[in-house]
Amino acid sequence: MLFWILVAVLTAVVGAILLSPLLRGAKVADDGRAGEAAVYRDQLRELDRDLAGGLISQEEAGYARAEIGRRLLAVSGAGPSAAKVPARGHYLSQAFIIVLLPVVCLCLYLVKGNPGLPSQPLQARLEHPGNDLAISIVKVEQHLAQQPDDGKGWEVLAPIYLKTGRIGDAELAYRNVIRLLGPNAERLGNLGEVLIMKADGIVTAEARSSLQQSLALDADNPRALFYLALALEQYGKAEQAKTAFEALAKQSPPGAPWMAAVNDHIVKNGGAADTATADSANANAPGNPTSEQVAAADAMNSGDRQQMIRGMVESLDAKLKDDPRNFEGWMRLIRSYAVLKDKDRAVDALKRSLKTFPADGGEGKQLLALAKELGLPTEVTQQ
């Protein structure tokens, strides 16, 4: 009962605050006209004094008195009726504030709210966050505020920041992890990837330095090799980039999830895709074209070829609905829609893929990196 009393009081207070400008409007208008009328009456008295003192002629005084009288009559005649006009003009607004606004708010609360839920202080919610990610973040942040040298805490928080799109905070967290727990290939690679995401997909000098340190600790680190090859491509060194991507393709295991992107970059830099790896990946990536389909596409005109490509992409999309665990398929589908300039479907495919491969996982990070490379929005991870 106390809750509803408080709601009624707050509603009344808010309604009064909203109504006060409307109710004041008529009074202000009436006061303004009364002031104008007083000015005109003063002018008439001043005119009489000038006439009596011989400052103006009788004819001039008659013209001036007629003009002032006209203005005085206009103001005086508008006063009583015009004072009511603002009130009538605001009747609809007043009715909405008094009746409709409280009713709409009450209905929304009854549908979305829970008036029977007992109050729960922030501390209690922090102790039992459940599935509330925001509360979990606050809990870890409070812990780190008291113990800022807890490297494990920063290591837990960093991927959460990344998942929620807080790239700057994720960078700080990864730097703290390296400072407190020491560098290793994984941590340096994470920092390099965050720096690339922060730069909208550009492999900056700082990111390249972090990735090179990661590669020095793990010479077979495919993530570091990929981004360093991408840096060469972005710097316009196409031949060196092609060589680096080809080297990554040769050392990658058959069916590796990053091979679709690697082959695309090899072709982009003037090379030929690793067909052996691509054929091996065909068994795991539904919708990839067979050699017969490629040969048929070569014989088509541009319109038919475009129609065939779109049909293959839509077929891949349909198969991924039945087999959402196919990471290579999602990579190829997102890139295919982007190549077809169908941004909406590319973003939709990214959203669906991240439901199976969360953004804080290895595959999810590759999906986000691909999205940035293709110019797709990555904020979909927060929806």
The string of pLDDT tens digits covering residues 181-203 is: 999 999 999 999 999 989 988 99
Task: Indicate whether 357 pLDDT > 60.
Answer: yes
Residue 360, token pair as written in the block: 């804080």
Asked if residue 336 belongs to a domain, the reply is no
State the burial class of residue 162 (Cβ atoms within 10 Å of its Cβ: 0-12, 13-18, 19+): buried
Task: Indicate whether 243 pLDDT > 90.
Answer: yes
Asked if residue 88 belongs to a domain, the reply is yes
Asked if residue 76 belongs to a domain, the reply is yes
pTM of this prediction exceeds 0.75: no
Grade residue 33 by pLDDT with cuts at 50, 70 and 90: low
Measure the CA–CA gap between 94 and 221, rounded to whole angstroms.
Answer: 68
More confident call, 216 vs 42? 216
Written as one letter, the residue type at 59 is: E
What pLDDT, on the 0 to 100 scale, is given for residue 112?
A: 66
Grade residue 323 by pLDDT with cuts at 50, 70 and 90: confident
Mean pLDDT for the stretch of residues 55-78: 75
Measure the CA–CA gap between 372 and 7, rounded to whole angstroms.
Answer: 47
Domains in the chain, number: 1
Contact between residue 331 and residue 261 where contact means Cβ atoms under 8 Å apart: yes
Domain holding 16, by residue range, is 2-112
Asked if residue 118 belongs to a domain, the reply is no
Residue 143, token pair as written in the block: 């812990």
For residue 339, CA distances in Å to 61, 62, 275, 279 come to 85, 85, 20, 21
Asked if residue 262 belongs to a domain, the reply is no
Measure the CA–CA gap between 126 and 75, rounded to whole angstroms.
Answer: 66
User: With the CA atoms of 114, 116, 122 and 123 taken in that order, what torsion angle do they form, in degrees rounded to the nearest 10?
Assistant: -140
Range picked from 60-69, 127-136, 280-289 for highest mean pLDDT: 60-69
Asked if residue 150 belongs to a domain, the reply is no
Grade residue 326 by pLDDT with cuts at 50, 70 and 90: confident
DSSP collapsed to 3 states, the chain:
CHHHHHHHHHHHHHHHHHHHHHHHHHHHHHHHHHHHHHHHHHHHHHHHHHHHCCCCCHHHHHHHHHHHHHHHHHHHHHHHHHCCHHHHHCHHHHHHHHHHHHHHHHHHHHHHCCCCCCCCCHHHHHHCCCCCHHHHHHHHHHHHHHCCCCHHHHHHHHHHHHHCCCHHHHHHHHHHHHHHHCCCHHHHHHHHHHHHHHCCCCCCHHHHHHHHHHHHHCCCCHHHHHHHHHHHHHCCCHHHHHHHHHHHHHHCCCCCCCHHHHHHHHHHCCCCCCHHHHHHHHCCCCCCCCHHHHHHHHCCCHHHHHHHHHHHHHHHHHHHHHCCCCHHHHHHHHHHHHHCCCHHHHHHHHHHHHHHCCCCCHHHHHHHHHHHHHCCCCHHHHC
Mean pLDDT for the stretch of residues 288-311: 53
Contact between residue 171 and residue 187 where contact means Cβ atoms under 8 Å apart: no
What pLDDT, on the 0 to 100 scale, is given for residue 286?
A: 46
Asked if residue 334 belongs to a domain, the reply is no
Written as one letter, the residue type at 25 is: G
What is the number of alpha carbons within 13 Å of residue 105 lying toward its C-beta? 14
Grade residue 289 by pLDDT with cuts at 50, 70 and 90: very low
Measure the CA–CA gap between 230 and 83, rounded to whole angstroms.
Answer: 73
Question: 13-17, 165-169, 378-382 — which is least confidently predicted?
Answer: 378-382
Asked if residue 45 belongs to a domain, the reply is yes
What pLDDT, on the 0 to 100 scale, is given for residue 84?
A: 45
